[in-house]
Amino acid sequence: MIITLKPNTPQIEIDRLAEYFESKGVRVHRIHGENFDVFGLVGDTTRLDERDVRSNVWIENVQRVQVPYRLANRMFHPEDTVVDVEGVKIGAGQKVAVMAGPCSVESLEGLCSIARAVKDCGASILRGGAYKPRTSPYSFQGLGYEGILDLAEARRRTGLPVVSEIMSERNLDEFIEYIDLVQIGARNMQNFQLLKAVGRINKPVMLKRGMSSTVEEWIMAAEYIMANGNPNVIFCERGIRTFEKMTRFTMDLAVIPLLKEKTHLPVVIDPSHASGDWKLVEPVALGAVAAGADGLIIEVHDRPDQAFSDGAQSLKPEKFRALVTKARAVARAVGRDL
């Protein structure tokens, strides 16, 4: 249920109403606007007599929410959420954030070399996988904790915040200490224990869409994180599995305006994993910028033919520079910045 208060309702009345609703056993999420306040009531709102609620002199409107997600719902939170990743602002649609780096952390010096290159090209966040969920148990699984330490050192040397994927609650402490943006990968999108765990930390979370997940399932996964106390969630579309085999996955660009209509959370696009082919990364990325994506996350490697993982979809630094240049032009054309 969404309760909209009248403009300039006194603070004492706002507090009194919140106490009343909480006394009825529902959680109250307050949204403070410039001219009026909104309450998002979560829980069994059938305990409330809607006629009594509507009769309150300070209440402007009462609206019941029919969708299962509450905290991510734009009806609860009409203003866009902007997630701050160590000074890099992601959200609100105006500025496009660019994250880039290797699929896997392979060595400290190699990582730092790529980090300096992507920063010089315009990236504001360094990506790199320390723990790698791979389809084959015989593929490179990542450097683990050593890779996390390498990311932290690359951040120290370049000043770039870092994003990396967490696979288990067991590693949560090292991510809290060393990683600036915690990524939940596609295969863990519905790992509900992991979602609850990252919901209890004070770190922004980037939630990738499961390869066979509906939009509502994806939003409900974000709801798990938010319901456990963490409002700083970023959606990341990385392509979904369809009947098509000519690309690695099918990129759903329509999900960008759809998520922005349904939710208030930022949306990032991963054209590397969706296409699986470096030649397709640039056009997909440009389409995402035009469609309103709040950010891009792109795999970059200086020697893709020797990469430990996903070399086929990784851009060389000079190709990445060209992409950023074109993306800036597209952003300007639609009244945005990059």
Asked whether the beta carbons of 76 and 42 are under 8 A apart, the reply is no
- For the stretch 231-282, pLDDT in tens is 999 999 999 999 999 999 999 999 999 999 999 999 999 999 999 999 999 9
pLDDT of amino acid 49: 85
- For the stretch 170-225, pLDDT in tens is 999 999 999 999 999 999 999 999 999 999 999 999 999 999 999 999 999 999 99
Which CATH number fits the domain 83-333, given the four candidates 3.40.50.620, 3.30.360.10, 3.20.20.70, 3.60.21.10?
Answer: 3.20.20.70
Q: Do 2-63 and 83-333 share a fold?
A: no
Asked whether the beta carbons of 80 and 264 are under 8 A apart, the reply is yes
- For the stretch 45-87, pLDDT in tens is 878 888 889 999 999 999 887 788 889 999 888 899 999 999 9
pLDDT band at 146 (very low <50, low <70, confident <90, very high): very high
Mean pLDDT, the chain, integer:
94
- How many angstroms separate the CA atoms of 301 and 114, rounded? 7
Other beta carbons less than 10 A from residue 139's beta carbon: 13
Q: How many CA atoms lie within 13 A of 17 on its CB side?
A: 27
Angle at 245 between CA 241 and CA 249, to 5 degrees: 35
Which sequence spans correspond to the domains of the chain?
A: 2-63, 83-333
pLDDT of amino acid 64: 81
Q: What is the CATH number of domain 2-63?
A: 3.30.70.1140
3-class SS letters over 105-174: CCCHHHHHHHHHHHHHHCCCEEECECCCCCCCCCCCCCCCHHHHHHHHHHHHHHCCCEEEEECCHHHHHH
